[in-house]
């Protein structure tokens, strides 16, 4: 018998929107809130929320080592971009530590209105892959995502091949040049790697941009971004 899927949020620094998110999402879901001490009291919102101190993961040997290899190919700050990458390694360590089969990750500003265990996923890994992508957008998102150990392992391998060994650097070289030569904001971020995992078939992924069904046979869909036409 499969165990229930737990939701995970990774966040640092108190924000009012995080409180509202937890109030809504915890009505139907069990949540692990991985964050700093400023968030610890938020677990009092609901018995469905468990706070986990992020420091034990951020200071772990593998994450510290990977940070030393990180080069920021983005117009965003180093700290912002690195934390986006680091959260996957944090999730990886959390899954291993708690012997979980998988988790459903949501961003801290992303409200989940449904009991995640009511959905009938068609793959062991699922995240958002926009269908309409102009040249060198190369973007996918885990802001709504079913993730397991395979996802984390494949992400780690791709990160190593891009930032440590450079073996697959050619996969991002064109996008780096495109942004730099055309003075376009953005660049390489964690969303680029999720796209590459999907596009190169490094991982079998259900696209949550497409409608699918819950266990009651009803069609459901995840919203990608409230500010886009999609």
Please identify which residue in the block is written with the tokens 């620094």. Answer: 13
Phi, psi of 57 (to 5 degrees): -90, -45
- Tens place of pLDDT for every residue, the chain, 230 residues? 457 999 999 999 999 999 999 999 999 999 999 999 999 999 999 999 999 999 999 999 999 999 999 999 999 999 999 999 999 999 999 999 999 999 999 999 999 999 999 999 999 999 999 988 888 999 999 999 999 999 999 999 999 999 999 999 999 999 999 999 999 999 999 999 999 999 999 999 999 999 999 999 999 989 877 777 76
Cβ 205 vs Cβ 127: under 8 Å: yes
Please give the C-alpha separations between residue 156 and each of 62, 117, 131, 150, 163, in angstroms, as whole numbers: 10, 27, 25, 10, 10
CA 12 remoteness from chain centre: 15
Please check whether residue 196 is in contact with residue 202, taking contact to mean a CB–CB distance below 8 angstroms.
yes
Quote the strand ranges of the chain, DSSP E: 6-11, 31-35, 49-53, 102-106, 126-128, 141-148, 206-207, 212-213, 219-220
Q: Tell me the whole-structure pTM to 2 decimals.
A: 0.95
b (16+ CB within 10 A) / e for 180-196: eeeeeebbbbbbbbbbb
224 CB contacts (<8 Å, ≥6 apart)? 128, 130, 141, 209, 230
Encode pLDDT of 195-209 as tens digits: 999 999 999 999 999
SS3 content of the chain, % helix, strand, coil (to 5): 40, 20, 40
What pLDDT does residue 2 have? 59
Q: Give the pLDDT confidence score for residue 1 in this predicted structure.
A: 42
By three-state DSSP, how is residue 143 classified?
Answer: strand
Q: What distance in Å separates the CA atoms of residue 220 and residue 222, rounded to the nearest whole number?
A: 7
Give the tokens for residue 119: 């959905």
Alpha-carbon distance values, 173 to 167, 178, 193, 198, 209 (Å): 12, 9, 13, 18, 27
Secondary element (H or E) of residue 64? helix 61-69
pLDDT, residue 143, reads 95
């Amino acid at each position: 018998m499969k165990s229930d899927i737990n939701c995970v949020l990774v966040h640092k620094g108190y924000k009012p929107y995080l409180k509202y998110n937890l109030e809504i999402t915890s009505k139907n879901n069990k949540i692990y809130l991985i964050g700093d001490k400023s968030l610890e009291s938020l677990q009092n919102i609901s018995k469905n929320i468990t706070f986990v101190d992020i420091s034990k993961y951020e200071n772990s040997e593998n994450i510290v080592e990977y940070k030393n290899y990180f080069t920021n190919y983005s117009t965003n700050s180093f700290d912002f971009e690195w934390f986006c990458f680091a959260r996957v390694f944090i999730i990886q360590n959390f899954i291993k530590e708690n012997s979980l089969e998988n988790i459903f990750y949501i961003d801290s500003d992303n409200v989940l209105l449904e009991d995640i265990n009511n959905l009938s996923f068609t793959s062991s890994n699922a995240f958002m892959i926009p269908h309409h992508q102009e040249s060198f957008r190369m973007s996918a998102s885990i802001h709504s995502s079913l993730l397991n150990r395979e996802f984390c392992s494949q992400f780690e391998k791709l990160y190593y091949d891009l930032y440590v060994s450079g073996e697959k650097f050619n996969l991002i070289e064109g996008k780096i040049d495109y942004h730099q030569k055309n003075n376009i904001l953005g660049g390489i971020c964690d969303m680029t790697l999720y796209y590459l995992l999907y596009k190169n078939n490094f991982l079998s992924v259900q696209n949550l941009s497409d409608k699918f069904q819950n266990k009651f046979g009803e069609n459901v869909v995840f919203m990608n971004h409230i500010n886009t036409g999609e």
